[in-house]
Amino acid sequence: MSKTELNKQWIYKLFLELITQQETRDSKFAVRFEEEKRKVEVELGQKLDLNLSEVHLIACIGDHGPINVTTISEKTDLTKGSVTRITQKLLASDLIKKQQLHDNKKEVYFRLTAKGQKLYKIHDREHRAIEQRFMHLLDKYTPEQLTFARELLQDLLEWDY
């Protein structure tokens, strides 16, 4: 077998291993998420009954607010029904508020409350830390290797195995 074919076999084997590890990684992530949520609760001074989709919806509103259900749905890849359900919960938790624009009384838009803004900032800080660690991981690769990795990952995202 040629070196190229061996490399392809190794890449395939590693790809399968990565997929198989996803369940383990998901459970580790769930533990980390709960740990981070507890830290946020201490910082906010409030117990949070939020899942990751709900936190990311707060981030979306923080990034793009005022924003309506349709746009939130497009930006988060959640259905409009899911967005509506989550926004109701976030409204009840006083993390977001509804508003109507002066020139459009029909459309409802969402903004963060002061409490939601605080949670948004904490979430943003944590995301920046993760991104920094990820960028540090990528520092060991050459520009050519990074180009290849980007192309491979894009192809894997589009590939229907």
Return d(Cα 53, Cα 83) in angstroms, integer.
Answer: 9
Domain count for the chain: 1
pLDDT at 102: 75
Q: Is residue 25 part of a domain?
A: yes
pLDDT at 132: 95
Q: Is residue 159 part of a domain?
A: no
Q: Is residue 5 part of a domain?
A: yes
Q: Is residue 41 part of a domain?
A: yes
> Does the pTM of the predicted model rise above 0.75?
no
Return d(Cα 143, Cα 61) in angstroms, integer.
Answer: 35
Q: Is residue 61 part of a domain?
A: no
Nearby residues of 69 by Cβ (< 8 Å), 6 or more positions away: 80, 83, 84, 87, 108
pLDDT at 97: 96
* Residue 26 domain boundaries: 1-46
Nearby residues of 53 by Cβ (< 8 Å), 6 or more positions away: 76, 78, 82, 86
pLDDT string in tens for the chain (161-residue length): 898 899 889 988 888 888 888 777 767 777 777 787 788 788 778 788 888 889 889 999 999 989 999 999 999 999 999 999 999 999 999 999 999 877 777 789 999 999 899 889 888 888 888 899 999 999 999 999 999 999 998 998 888 87
